[in-house]
Structure 1
Amino acid sequence: MKVLEFYGVKPEDSLLLTFDGAFNPQVALQVELASFLQALEEYADGWMPDVVKGKRQRKYARAAVWKALEERRGERYTHCGLYRTQWPALSLSLGIRLPPHLPGLNIMVGVKPLSFFAEAERCRQFVEMVRAWASHYPVTYAEAHSLDDMELAGSPFFGRDEKTSRGNGFDKIYAVWWLNVFGPKLVETVGRERMLSTPAHRVEELPNGAILMVTWPTVADFASKEARLAQARAHAHLRPDLDFDTILRSLHERSAMLAPVEPRFFPDMAPLLSRVVDQAASHERQRRIAEFNVWQPPDPEEWRPVDAALPSDVESGERALQQYSLYAEHLVALLHSEVPSVFEATPESLTDADFYFWREEFPKSRLREAIDEHAVPAIGAYLGEVLVRNLGGRWIPRQKLEEAQVLVGNRVWLPFARARNYMRSRQSLLDCSLTYLYRVAERHRG
């Protein structure tokens, strides 16, 4: 059974639930968790897990959950994961704190994509599941909402340092999400009557004194004007010290940051930039697209007109070409497992190499001495070889590598100089990409 890797699939928004509830260690584990599994099995409409992971992977069954928790059990904590093999993707983490710590049940549910929860009935079932959990496992606070929106809002720290955040927890209402369960302590801080009178889609008092609140019927359209208005009204009602217009403006600003942006990338760089933005966290992706829509790389500086070309000053041109070929082979050896196209020495392989170096943050993640001594010569030689093979170029060797040239049409190009500029920083991998130099050289070869 191959599970869908929740964080390995294409970045896109997901529904995130975090739930921290009480747990009774005096009751047998299978009995105490029965309510959790019963509600999951009853209400997980279309996203029910089919795989349980402890130290090994098993097909979902209650017995498999008990086995996984047993395998992972330590002195103070045990946990397991529940996943799916079919779309939508699921990452469900079940953790149990054991004495001498304060016993507790930690649940984190991620379902991707968020659009899976566009129907009101599916959302209602999700709420019923959380209601059942919160009724049996009293919570301090539980929340479910768009993960992208929560990230933009700074959840769960909300401007606090991590130590303060973990120490204070959700000690006051920092945000109101699509689904909220406020524990009795937080209810009393706000005022039970005030909380029960919140203008929202659903407000319900639970048997243990907690209050469940849903701001809008469906979560997939959380960024719509109507849903944002409902969210702002609820937040301002619960926090009368905050300004309603300020809350609403902040919500609309986040909606604008998440609104789809049509890619209109600089044509020569579009294949590379499309892959770069796909690597961005989903809450940052639209902003990155917008940034790249107005960006274009600076024109390459690593060239001379043919009448300014430096003549070869090496004793043996053949030996110099052999050395360049050897350098290029070093790049093939470095990249071949991650970038198989590097064997082909094509324009497309340059784009693949650009993306690899960008993804790996190569200029920052490798020692500078190794980059200057090994990577720069290998990259420069490989770029030169691609110009020679695909554009009919000709090497003009020089004793100093950075002066070595490749003649294409009415220009000579300096691939080793380009490689040095390319490896200065991660941004330089885009500003001085191998892909763009090749495309400019291609246009000038006539």
Structure 2
Amino acid sequence: MTLPSLSRVLRSAACVGVLLVASAGAVHAQLPGSDLPPPPGMEAPASPPAGPERGTVTQPPPPTPSQTPTPASAPPPTDGVIAPAPADTSANSGARTALVVDAATRGIDPRVGQHVTHAMRQTLAAMGYAVASSTETVAAAQRARMTYPPAPADLWRVTLAAGVDRGAFARVWADAGRYVFELSVASADGTGPFFARGSSGAEDLYAVVERLTREAVPAPNVWDAAAAARYRAPVASAGPADSPLAGQLATPSPSPTGARTPFVRPVTPREARAADAPGRRLQLALYTVSAIGADGNGFYNHLLELSLGVRLRRDMILSLQLGYANLDGRHGREHNLMPSLVVEKRLRLAPHLDLSVPIKGSVGFLPFNGPVLRVSAGLAYAFGERVELTADLICPSFWLIDDRVYVSMNVSLGLIVRL
């Protein structure tokens, strides 16, 4: 092959190579969908950065939006693709608002109140309320000069002062080994107040507080907007003072510096009765009683008594008893039934102890014999919320039989189950 023919072959091969490269680039640029952005809500898969192709001129990356701000009046460039509307970042922008005043405890660990407050705040948020922070709640209470613990009227004033729709507060105390909760709710639209009450152990505290909160707090969609606007309307001021003395009276006195002791509102009779109310009112008891003669007769009577009682208050019990009596008769052992009425007063030794002193007085009647009077004092120990063991250690009894009075000293042991 001559030199001119070799050069023609090389030039032909170079032309073919250039055509192949150009056709490959055109095919790559026409892949369907390769120049479209990912669908809305989907991100493009990450891929390693590709270097510049040989024979192309590299361009600097486009500036970020922070480097070239777009005027607010000009719409953002879309390059032919419609961008989705931006999401609303405020999830609770149209929700009802609420606050929770820290729960008040009495005779128990203050940390229990913190758990109750936390559970109420979480429940309100789950119901759809936007709950004010503790700092905002304290600031509103200071503006309204709220007394603590707040009465329903105080809670309503704090709700208006905070600018929220509803306010909630709980009282917590202990009764018979269980926590007792009393929730009160104020609403800025003038409805209410709303109340809920219940008890729980330590293991189901959160569940019970959540249930009571949902019972007491109305749903967010239950709202009287016209009444709320009327209550929230600013009150016209009373005008300037007519005299310097009146101006001084209208001016609030300066607050003393340093720590201040909060004013504690006296407990109302209704609140005192609510605090003394028992959690479980009915109780069923079984007693075994040994009566030993103490006036020289030396008799011995034994009784098995079944009692149904109702707790009028936490420390006051009224019971009806029916007892089987095995008596020391004139001609041997006799059998009889003795109904009786018992009034019992409980004296608690300490708030943190489940030990108490029952003081009882009873009046019974023994058919074909006569009345029986009994007074007693002993000890009672509670095994949890429902079961209690009691013993009457000092128990003189007076048996009126055949116009004579027989005296016995009794000892009894009983098991109480609260229903």
TM range (shorter): under 0.3
TM-score, normalization: structure 2? 0.26
Structure with higher helix content? 1
Highest CA radius of gyration, 1 or 2?
A: 2
Structure with higher strand content? 2
TM-score, normalization: structure 1? 0.25
